[in-house]
C-alpha cells in the first residue's frame, strides 16, 4: 500500500506561474521528502522536512507540513519549462526504516 498520495495527478501551467502539489499520508512519520524525476531518469532529491518542522524553503521551492492533517504541499514559484517533471513525496514512518513513495504529480510547464 502506498503511504503518500499526491494531488493532482497532473498539472499544466504557463511559465512564470506558481505550481502547487499536495501529498497526503496515513501514518505518523519521521520526515517527508520531495523528489523530482525527469522523463526516463532517476529521482533527484529536492527537500526534506522533519515531522517537527512546519515550513522549509530552498530556492524557488517551499514545502509545508501539517502533521495534524497528515499532509504536505510543495510550491514551486515562478515556474520554468525546465521544471517539467514528475514530483514525488516520500515518507518514512515513525519507527520504520523504509521510505514509501507516492504515485507522483506530473507537472508540465508551457513556455
Q: Which residues of the chain form contacts with other proteins (CB under 8 A)?
A: 2, 4, 30-31, 33, 40-45, 48, 88, 90, 92, 97-104
User: Between 15 and 108, whose beta carbon lies closer to other proteins?
Assistant: 108
CB of 16 to other proteins, least distance (A): 29
| CA neighbor of 89 nearest in space, from 48, 38, 35, 53 | 35
User: According to the 3-state scheme, what is the secondary structure of 62-73?
Assistant: EEEEECCCCEEE
Helix-strand-coil percent breakdown of the chain, rounded to 5?
5, 60, 40
Residues contacting residue 50 through CB under 8 Å, at least 6 positions apart: 30, 31
CB of 14 to other proteins, least distance (A): 25
User: Between 77 and 99, whose beta carbon lies closer to other proteins?
Assistant: 99
User: Between 44 and 78, whose beta carbon lies closer to other proteins?
Assistant: 44
CB of 74 to other proteins, least distance (A): 15
CB of 32 to other proteins, least distance (A): 11
Q: Distance from CA of residue 66 to its chain's centroid? A: 13
User: Between 19 and 100, whose beta carbon lies closer to other proteins?
Assistant: 100
Amino acid at each position: 500500500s502506498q503511504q503518500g498520495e499526491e494531488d493532482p495527478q497532473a498539472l499544466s501551467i504557463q511559465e512564470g506561474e506558481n505550481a502547487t502539489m499536495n501529498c497526503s499520508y496515513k501514518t505518523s512519520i519521521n520526515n517527508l521528502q520531495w523528489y523530482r524525476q525527469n522523463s526516463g531518469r532517476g529521482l533527484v532529491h529536492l527537500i526534506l522536512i522533519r515531522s517537527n518542522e512546519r515550513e522549509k524553503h530552498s530556492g524557488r521551492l517551499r514545502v509545508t507540513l501539517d502533521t495534524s492533517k497528515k499532509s504536505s504541499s510543495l510550491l514551486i514559484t515562478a515556474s520554468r519549462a525546465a521544471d517539467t517533471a514528475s514530483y514525488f513525496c516520500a515518507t518514512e514512518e515513525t519507527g520504520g526504516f523504509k521510505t514509501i513513495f507516492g504515485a507522483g504529480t506530473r507537472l508540465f510547464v508551457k513556455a
